Amino acid sequence: MNTLLASVKELVRQDLLAVDAVIRASMKSSVALVDQVAEHIISGGGKRLRPLIVLLAARAGGYRGASHIDAAAFIEFIHTATLLHDDVVDGSSRRRGRATANALYGNQASVLVGDFVYSRAFQMMAAIGSQRVMEIMSQATNVIAEGEVLQLMNAGDPDTTQQRYLEVIYRKTAKLFEAGAEVSAVIAGASPSQQRALADFGRHLGTAYQLIDDVLDYQSNPAELGKNLGDDLAEGKPTLPLIQALKKAPDPGIRSIIRGAIENGGLEQLDVIVGAIESTGALEYTRALAQDEADQALTALQALPESPYKQGLAALARFAVERSS
C-alpha cells in the first residue's frame, strides 16, 4: 500500500475496522449465491478510499457519534454495486488483479447481486433517519446512473469532446466522492458553508482521482492497477489522454489509427497509439488537469478548522495525483 495512504488510514484505523465489520454483517443473506458473490467482492479489497473520505470528513467536522460508520459502509456499497454492473456492461474479466464476479458467476448473478447491494445501501441510509442524507444519496445514485448511460453513448465515438468526457467522470466517479463528503458534513452537524465546502472537496478529489486513473491506463504496471494496459481503449472508451492525442497528433495517419481504435475497440495498434499519447504530451496534459482539481480540493478544505483529520483529507488530495496504482 502507498505509504501516504497508509498513514492517512492510521488516523481512523478503529473506524475503518468498524466499517469492515458493518460491511460483512450487512452483506449477509439467506440466499447462498448472494453470499458467495458478496464474499468475492468483499475479499477483493480495494483502497476503501470512499469510506475513508466519509470517516475523515465526519471527524474533521467534529463528529463523535457512530452514524458515520454506517454512512461509510453504504457509500462503499453504492460503489460496489456500480462495479458489479459496470463489469457486466463492459464485459470485463478482471478487476483488482483477479477475476470479476461476472466472469466467475455469470452476468445474471452479478446484475442481481448488484441490485441487492444497492437496496441494502438504501436500507442503511434510511436507518440513519436523516431526510437530508436520503436526498443527497438518492440524487447521487440517479446522477451516477445517468453517467453510465452517457459513457455508453460516448463509447466508440472518436468525436467525444473533453467537456463530454469530464461530464461522464463527474457523474460516474466524482459524484459519489462528493456525496460521501457532504453526507459526513450533514451527520456531523456542520454549518451550511462547511457542508458545501466538503461537497466541493469531494467533487474535485474524485475528478482528480479519475483523471489519474485514465493516465495509468496507458502507463501502469497491470499487476499494480489490477487491470490490463489499454483496457479503456479495448472497450472503445475515449478518455482524456486519447482525446488529447487525437487532437494534437500532427500525422493524419496516426489520427486515423486512433479514430479507428475508438470506433472499433481492440488493441491491434496499441503501441502506435501509446506512442502518440506520449509524443503529444497527452499524459502530462491530463496530469496537469488532475493537479488543478487536487488544488481546488485543497482550497475547499480551508473552510474547516485545523485538525489531524483535515490534514488527512489534504493528504488524500496529494495521494490522488501522486499514486502509481
**What is the tens place of the pLDDT at every residue in 130-160?**
999 999 999 999 999 999 999 999 999 999 9
Q: Given this model, what pLDDT does residue 146 score?
A: 96
Q: Given this model, what pLDDT does residue 1 score?
A: 56
| DSSP-based three-state secondary structure for 99 | strand
Report which of 233, 230, 239 is spatially closest to residue 212, judged by C-alpha positions. 239
Q: Given this model, what pLDDT does residue 38 score?
A: 85
Grid cell in block for residue 282: 497527452
Q: Given this model, what pLDDT does residue 226 score?
A: 47
Please give the Cα distance from 71 to 124 (Å, whole number). 8
Torsion of CA 162, 166, 169, 172, to 10 degrees: -110
Q: Given this model, what pLDDT does residue 73 score?
A: 97
CATH class belonging to 3-315:
mainly alpha
Task: Give the model confidence (pLDDT) of 208-248 as tens digits.
Answer: 999 999 999 888 554 544 456 677 888 889 999 999 999 99
Show the CA angle centred on residue 209, arms to residues 24 and 135, nearest 5°.
60
Domain ranges of the chain: 3-315
Alpha helices in the chain (DSSP H): 3-11, 13-26, 32-43, 49-60, 67-90, 101-105, 107-128, 131-154, 162-169, 175-187, 192-216, 222-225, 231-234, 240-248, 252-264, 270-279, 282-300, 308-322
Please give the Cα distance from 162 to 207 (Å, whole number). 13
Positions of the chain with pLDDT lower than 50, given as ranges: 222, 224-226
Please give the Cα distance from 95 to 46 (Å, whole number). 10
Q: Given this model, what pLDDT does residue 42 score?
A: 80
pTM: 0.94
